[in-house]
Amino acid sequence: MSRFPEEAVRKTRILVIGDLMLDRYWFGDVDRISPEAPVPVVKIARREDRLGGAANVARNIVALGGHATLLGIVGRDEAGRSVAALASESGIEADCVEDESLPTTLKMRVLGRQQQLLRVDFEEHPSAASLDALSRQAESLIASHDVLVLSDYAKGALDRVEQLIAHARQAGVPVLVDPKGATYERYHGATLVTPNRAELIEAVGRWKSEEDLQQRAQELRGKLELEALLVTRSEQGMTLFTAHGREHFPTHAQEVFDVSGAGDTVLATLAVMRAAGEDWTRSADWANRAGGIVVGKLGTSIVTAEELK
C-alpha cells in the first residue's frame, strides 16, 4: 500500500452536489414500558446533530484534508440553519439554495442504550424554482473544481442530474456518482458510479455467480460510458470494474457497528484520491480502508487522514 498522499490531497478542490440532510440523534435510557401502548419510554439524556447525505460526503472530504464546496437545497428553518452552522464548523464552503416551501430533510433517530428504537423522517420535494437556482449555481462552480461528486438520495436535488453531468463533461471535470433507484440511464456519461449491492441488483438484476456479476457490471459500465463502476458489497468488501477488468478488495472492517453513512465515506475518499492523482485501483483501495473504519462507528461519521495513515 502506498503512503497517504497528504500534500496532494491538501490541494484538491471537490464540488459536492446532492441531497442535503440533517441527522439528529436523541440518546437516552430505557427503564420502563409506556402504560399507554406497548412501547419503551426513552428518557433523553443527550442530543446530537450531524451532517447527512451529500453534506456528510463533504464533511468526509474535509476530514481527509481536501477542500469541499457543498451545493444543495435546504428549507428556511431550524434544521437548515443547523446544516449551515455544522458545515461552517467543519470547514465546508456551503453554497446552498433556500426553499421556503419545504422543510430541510431531517432524519431524527431515538436511541436507547446505543440501540436505535425509532427513526422519524421529514422531507418534501424541492420546487422547480429551487432546482433552477441550483443548476445556475452548479454551472458557475463546476469548472473551478477538480472533481464533481453527485450524492443522490432520491430527495429531488438531483432531478436534473443529466444536465450536471453534461456540464461537467464539457468542462473536463470528472464526475463521481452515488446512485439511487433503478434508472441508471440518468447517470450516462459520468466517470464513475458507486452502487451498493442492493442498488446494483435493482439496476441489473440478481447475479448467479461472480462471472455473472462481472458480465452484468461490465455491460452496465459500457452502456453508461463509465470509466469505472465500483460496487460496495458490505461484508464482502468492494469490487471495481474498469476497461482493464475486475479487481476485488476484501473488507477491512474488524467489527460492523453501523453502516449508515459508509457509502458517503467511500465516495468522499474516492473523490479525494482521484483528485490527488491516484488511479482507480489505488483510489478504491483507500476507499475500502476508509469504509472499513467508518462502519465501526455509530451513526453518520467521518474518517480522518490520521486514521488512514
| Of residues 103, 100, 68, 66, the one with CA closest to residue 86 | 68
* 264 in catalytic set: yes
Which one from 99, 152, 178, 264 is the annotated catalytic residue? 264
Specify the 3-state DSSP secondary structure of 66. coil
User: Are 264 and 211 within 8 A, CB to CB?
Assistant: no
Question: Nine-digit cell at 308?
Answer: 488512514
User: Are 108 and 48 within 8 A, CB to CB?
Assistant: no
Question: Nine-digit cell at 208?
Answer: 448467479
Looking at residue 191, its amino acid is: T
> Residue 79: CB partners within 8 Å, gap ≥ 6?
22, 24, 103, 104, 105, 106, 122
Order across the sheet with 175-178: list the strands: 93-94, 67-71, 13-18, 147-151, 175-178, 192-193, 228-232, 238-242, 245-249
Catalytic residues: 264
